[in-house]
Amino acid sequence: MYLAALIACGISGILILIRIILGKTTFDRVLAINTLGTIIVIGIALHGFYTGRPEFLDIAIVYALINFIGTVAVLKLFSAGSLGDVKK
Amino acid sequence: MISELIINAFLVTVMLAIAIALLKTRTVIFTVILTSAYSLVAALMFITLDAVDVAFTEASVGAGISTVLFLAAMAYLPKKEEETIGNQFIPALSCIILGAILIWCSYDLPQIGLVSSPIHQHVAPDYILGSRNDIGIPNIVTSVLASYRGYDTFGETIVVFTAGIAVLVLLQNKKKISKDTKSKIKKKVGRNA
């Protein structure tokens, strides 16, 4: 069952990767990267349970947090034009 | 065993696809985003290789902090990369030769997880056997970092601290200081006059 879920994760990862590479606007790509991060979080959890060592769930949590920070940073850059104070 | 091989092959393929997309892109922000995605997949690769601490570092530093730092630095850059001019034959040749040498050297590496490889023979057995009695904490990596190799960690911390101080000294606001000193000099001159 875990293997089937892992394969499904892999297939959706490939589809998201195609969207990242072909993506029309940058926002499509940002969204696709965020989704890829979520897929990777699920993949880490599934891989942990598949190999019988679910202790690695901590890393999945770190991933989820980091993924959020990265997306927020990109979107803040779009809305504010910079991170921090750029004097022009 | 086969499934592990398939997972590793899949991850390497994804990383290769991202690397090729990185080569093709000419927008700075897209490069930063793709680098972040590459780090994410690399960290997943480290997890499948059982290097959990490295995966932690890669996820937090490679995918998280460095992406934010790149984005913060990006505000100072032009939006589009300039087209490279000139012959790229020699850089490509040197890259291919370096890669071939590295692949050739990798054949001499011991197999992953082999007990008789040198890395598992030197001091590692002592650390693994004595960690609980010598140090008294269950995590062997932590006991190696903080106790067995404590002086190394201390030195590393000093190096990182020195680098941080150097960056702060280099990046401090020089105009503000010069204005302050100028006004002080003016005041002194005024008093004297």
Task: List, run by run, the mean pLDDT of 10-residue segments along chain A (88 residues).
Answer: 87 88 81 87 86 79 83 80 60
What's the domain count of chain A? 1
Distance CA A17, CA A56 (A): 24
**Cα distance from A70 to chain B (closest Cα, Å)?**
6
Q: Determine the residue among B71, B76, B173, B174 to mutate to test chain A binding: the one whose Cβ has the most chain A Cβ atoms within 10 Å.
A: B71
Q: Taking a C-beta distance cutoff of 8 angstroms, is the pair A66, B39 a contact?
A: no
Q: Determine the residue among B53, B54, B67, B171 to mutate to test chain A binding: the one whose Cβ has the most chain A Cβ atoms within 10 Å.
A: B67
A37 found inside a domain: yes
Residue-number span of the structural domain to which A69 is assigned = 2-80
Kindly provide the residue ranges of all beta strands, DSSP E only, lying in chain A, ordered along the sequence: none
Give the tens place of pLDDT for each residue, B31-60. 888 888 888 888 888 888 878 788 888 888
Contact state of A59 with B52 under an 8 Å Cβ cutoff: yes
pLDDT of residue B102: 94
- Residue B1 and residue B70 share a domain: yes
B132 found inside a domain: yes
CA quadruple B38, B39, B40, B45: dihedral, nearest 10: 90
pLDDT of residue A37: 85
Nearest to B60 among A30, A66, A83 (CB): A66
- What is the pTM (predicted TM-score) of this model? 0.69
Residue-number span of the structural domain to which B45 is assigned = 1-80
What's the domain count of chain B? 2
Distance CA B71, CA A70 (A): 9
B8 found inside a domain: yes
Give the tens place of pLDDT for each residue, A42-62. 888 888 888 887 777 887 888
Give the tens place of pLDDT for each residue, B139-156. 787 888 888 888 999 999
Q: How far is CA B112 from CA A14, A47, B8, B131, in A?
A: 28, 19, 13, 23
ipTM of the complex: 0.79
- Residue B3 and residue B63 share a domain: yes
A85 found inside a domain: no
Residue with tokens 């750029």: A86
Give the tens place of pLDDT for each residue, B77-93. 776 666 666 777 888 89
